[in-house]
Structure 1
Amino acid sequence: MLRALLPSCCAMCGTGCDDTLCPDCAAQFFGAGAAVARCRRCANPLPGAALDRDRHQSEDRLCGLCATQPPSFDVTLTAADYAMPVDQLVLQLKFGHRLALASLFARLLRDAVLQQPDFVLPALICPVPLGPRRLAERGYNQALEIARPLARSLGVALHPRLAARVRETTAQSSVAPEQRQRNIAGAFAVPDGALVRGRHIGIVDDVMTSGGTLDELAATLKRHGAARVSNLVFARTPPH
């Protein structure tokens, strides 16, 4: 009766279904067939590398950039590439106020995490914080909306205010690549270093593009004594 009164449809193709995604879209864009070999640190696809179904992302599988210039974070796990049509889901959550998609992102990200047999879960989950102005404009932090159900499903403690954004910055997507590091530098602070010291912290965000924001936040956490920092991001922008 509820399905008849409140019909739902797939967020990607519009087909009537009982879930946020229909089985066909889930299999095509997020199933085993969509998995690719990725760099262990930054999750960029590794061209020509075969996916090891048992290990997925081995410790020694790194892209050239991460091998020569390691970022501050240690691991990045992602559910999909930020490309059509997955990018439209992200935009609907981020700018279209479709908050129901956050639970879908969390579920798909949880599956991606659990498919990594050698990944040790973090002790705390920290969403990438928004500045007060951007939070007021949007009305919610999409990273926190994803982090809440993700933390519950993984059985990991969520600390929404583990990090704070102390400097408003221009959106990284609108900044030239060579200026992104300067744009985000000094943007974060950790109010209580005792919560971070010696622990494995998981940073949650919706999209990882250049990785500059996540690198700056990871560097801030490590300056306060974090032993390890892992990124848990729903979508990863492929290199251009």
Structure 2
Amino acid sequence: MRSGQQACSNRLCGHPQRAFEWTAVIGVKAGILQEGILQLKKGAHGWGMIFARIVLGHLYTRPELTAKVDAIIPMPSYLEQNQARRGNDHTGYVIERAILEDDRGLPFVLEPPLIRKTSVTVRMRDTASALERHVAAQSLYDALHVPDPSRVRGQSIMVYDDVFTGGNTLNAVAKRLKANGASKVYGLTLARAQWRV
């Protein structure tokens, strides 16, 4: 916590089972940003290019965020065999577009993926209680697989996601990456959910 900041109200702050170091947040999930995220999930693919450019702009103006990062990956999504990324994996699609636009050689990794989601799990936004979120996070952890641990061993990995609410999803991914030898895991979030009062 920096001087002058309020104490963190997130349950994972200071929790002994938190597996990620921090998450960098670009904006707040409100207004046009919230609408764009929803539209991308509904298939308005132009938003993927816009978000890719926002991500790149943020990382270009904040080089300290990636100074010690070995790989930037999307939050893993479940894709059936031969299922297209576009329309089915919105975080992967944003990273795919960012790779095409990147002119500074940021360490994006998309294919082959460092981590895979092997089955459908309950979405965190569909949970209503801390217990349900805990069960959903465990289910997600169980569904994650690192195909080649030698590619993550000793690496610092940044995981991009569109929305950060409580950190349970990022924490499950960080735990799986660290269980396979990753040294540090960071988050990069397009928008954080507005704090509840």
From 169, 178, 191, the equivalent of 1:213 is 169
- Using the alignment, how far apart are the partners of 2:22 and 2:79 within structure 1? 28
Describe the SS at the equivalent of 2:64. Answer: coil
What corresponds to 1:87 in structure 2?
A: 34
Q: Given that residues 202 and 229 in structure 1 are in contact (C-alpha distance below 8 angstroms), is that contact kept between their aligned partners in structure 2?
A: yes
Describe the SS at the equivalent of 1:176. Answer: coil
What corresponds to 1:27 in structure 2?
A: none
User: Once the two structures are superposed, what CA deviation does each residue of 1:158-180 show, in whole Å capped at 9, x if it has no partner?
Assistant: 13421111232122111113111
What corresponds to 1:140 in structure 2?
A: 88
1:189-200 to structure 2, matched below 5 A, reads: 189-200=145-156
Task: For CA contacts below 8 A with separation 6 or more, give which structure has more relative contact order.
Answer: 2
Deviation at 1:105, TM superposition (A): 0.8
From 53, 56, 67, the equivalent of 1:107 is 53
From 102, 119, 128, the equivalent of 1:167 is 119
Q: Given that residues 77 and 113 in structure 1 are in contact (C-alpha distance below 8 angstroms), is that contact kept between their aligned partners in structure 2?
A: no
Q: Given that residues 169 and 184 in structure 1 are in contact (C-alpha distance below 8 angstroms), is that contact kept between their aligned partners in structure 2?
A: no
Bigger Rg, structure 1 or 2: 1
Describe the SS at the equivalent of 2:157. Answer: strand
Q: Given that residues 96 and 110 in structure 2 are in contact (C-alpha distance below 8 angstroms), is that contact kept between their aligned partners in structure 1?
A: no
User: Once the two structures are superposed, what CA deviation does each residue of 1:94-121 show, in whole Å capped at 9, x if it has no partner?
Assistant: 12x1111112112112222233353225
What corresponds to 1:28 in structure 2?
A: none
Q: Given that residues 55 and 98 in structure 2 are in contact (C-alpha distance below 8 angstroms), is that contact kept between their aligned partners in structure 1?
A: yes
Describe the SS at the equivalent of 1:130. Answer: coil
- Using the alignment, how far apart are the partners of 2:59 and 2:174 within structure 1? 19
What corresponds to 1:157 in structure 2?
A: 108
Q: TM-score, normalised by structure 1?
A: 0.67
From the superposition, tell whether residues 192 and 101 of structure 1 become closer, same or farther in structure 2 (CA, over 3 Å). Answer: same
Describe the SS at the equivalent of 1:114. Answer: helix
- Using the alignment, how far apart are the partners of 1:67 and 1:139 within structure 2? 33
1:16-165 to structure 2, matched below 5 A, reads: 49=5, 63=8, 65=10, 67-69=13-15, 71-95=18-42, 97-119=43-65, 120=67, 122-132=69-79, 139-152=87-100, 153=102, 155=105, 156-160=107-111, 161-165=113-117
What corresponds to 2:137 in structure 1?
A: 184
What corresponds to 1:12 in structure 2?
A: none
- Using the alignment, how far apart are the partners of 2:161 and 2:173 within structure 1? 11
Does residue 159 of structure 2 align to residue 203 of structure 1? yes
**Counterpart code for 1:101:** W
- Using the alignment, how far apart are the partners of 1:151 and 1:128 within structure 2? 15
Structure 2 unpaired stretches of 5+ = none
Give me the CA root mean square deviation. 2.7
- Using the alignment, how far apart are the partners of 1:183 and 1:208 within structure 2? 15
**Counterpart code for 1:81:** V
Structure 1 unpaired stretches of 5+ = 1-38, 41-45, 50-60
**% identical equivalent positions:** 27
User: Once the two structures are superposed, what CA deviation does each residue of 1:4-59 show, in whole Å capped at 9, x if it has no partner?
Assistant: xxxxxxxxxxxxxxxxxxxxxxxxxxxxxxxxxxx79xxxxx9x74xxxxxxxxxx
Q: TM-score, normalised by structure 2?
A: 0.80
What corresponds to 1:16 in structure 2?
A: none
Q: Given that residues 72 and 109 in structure 2 are in contact (C-alpha distance below 8 angstroms), is that contact kept between their aligned partners in structure 1?
A: yes
Q: Given that residues 188 and 220 in structure 1 are in contact (C-alpha distance below 8 angstroms), is that contact kept between their aligned partners in structure 2?
A: yes
Describe the SS at the equivalent of 2:31. Answer: coil
Corresponding pairs, count: 182
- Using the alignment, how far apart are the partners of 2:174 and 2:123 within structure 1? 18
